[in-house]
Structure 1
């Protein structure tokens, strides 16, 4: 990243704006309290910039909990716009393995990363199930050819995650467990789903 990119560039642009405001400040003796009012306006601008500007530290925290991946919505939630993401994609700082999903280039590679990609593409509403869950629990010697995920029934008319076998059903909290960064159906629900499906 260049020295003037990211937060440094944001801060540099803001400093220039702040100096332009300082040029219009009245003399301290122009009217009692007027100088303080103008200074407080500039400080308020500073606070807004810090609060609303891109927060790459927070994005890293989010991605670190998801095997280095994050979604466009998660980036935007911390003040990082789509154009900003595109700029970092072109500079090679992030990757875009799937529609709407990005990965930090320097984040260590881990097993089952594709699960995080698909889960983020499902807006974190999917739960890995069926043959995929069997494999994650080491309850099957057969590696599934494709990844199975169960989505809420409200997803029937929405675009499915790329490259996944999608099942539609509601999965309550008591039927869920976690495998690393992603949710998976519980052992009991997994066995029942596979038996029903004739697996």
Structure 2
């Protein structure tokens, strides 16, 4: 029985380790923890209750904060459907002066959950628009810049993000323009202004 408990914990720990210590009730169930066992571990303080059906191993809360733990948490809240986007994605990529007060997530059009803490954008993203991080996904720099331009973000934010993306070689003019064109006239205008400012 003790070996079985250790095996269960090891399976769940491996899953949680790739998600900064966070895991869902469904992942715990898959690892062999019944809902009754989940309640027991939450009540005993072995697992921290983060949100409805989202937990974190207590040991991970003692580690230094890397700054993007909340992005993992909100990805799990969305059942893996959300992609970090817009100004939050710019902050993840450390581009420009974006300092969003809310977490921006892009979710599929049929997504039904809501929260006062996040801003949800509904769109279908191509695989080429997304990159994987530890425990969450984020839109690539060119897409994030175009999203901010389409969302009517301050032009100074767009200008600084475009300048840094080009300077660091993580986006090209062509990719930026292509991403902007896919999001419409407002995005195109914002990106074109930022590119003209560099001349």
1:68/1:176 CA distance change after superposition, 3 Å: same
Corresponding residue pairs, total? 150
For 1:61 and 1:180, how far apart are their aligned partners in 2? Answer: 13
Q: 1:73 aligns with which of 22, 26, 43?
A: 26
Deviation at 1:179? 3.1
Q: 1:98 maps to what in 2? A: 51
1:118/1:161 contact within 8 Å kept: no
SS at match of 1:55: helix
Structure 2: state its 5+ residue gaps. Answer: 154-199
Structure 1: state its 5+ residue gaps. Answer: 1-6, 12-49
For 1:179 and 1:86, how far apart are their aligned partners in 2? Answer: 30
Q: 2:76 aligns with which of 96, 116, 120?
A: 120
TM-score by length of 1: 0.70
Deviation at 1:54? 7.1
The answer to whether residue 29 in structure 2 is matched with residue 64 in structure 1 is: no
Q: 2:176 maps to what in 1? A: none
Q: 1:196 maps to what in 2? A: 150
2:90/2:98 contact within 8 Å kept: no
Q: 2:175 maps to what in 1? A: none
Task: Identify, as 1 or 2, the structure richer in helix.
Answer: 2
Once the two structures are superposed, residues 164-195 of structure 1 have per-residue CA deviations (whole angstroms, 9 ceiling, x without a partner) of 11000011111001233210001111111111
Once the two structures are superposed, residues 71-111 of structure 1 have per-residue CA deviations (whole angstroms, 9 ceiling, x without a partner) of 01111111111111110111110101111110000123432
Q: 2:41 aligns with which of 82, 88, 91?
A: 88
The answer to whether residue 114 in structure 2 is matched with residue 160 in structure 1 is: yes
SS at match of 2:70: helix
For 1:197 and 1:150, how far apart are their aligned partners in 2? Answer: 13
Moved over 6 A (4+): none
Structural RMSD (CA) = 2.0
Larger radius of gyration: 1
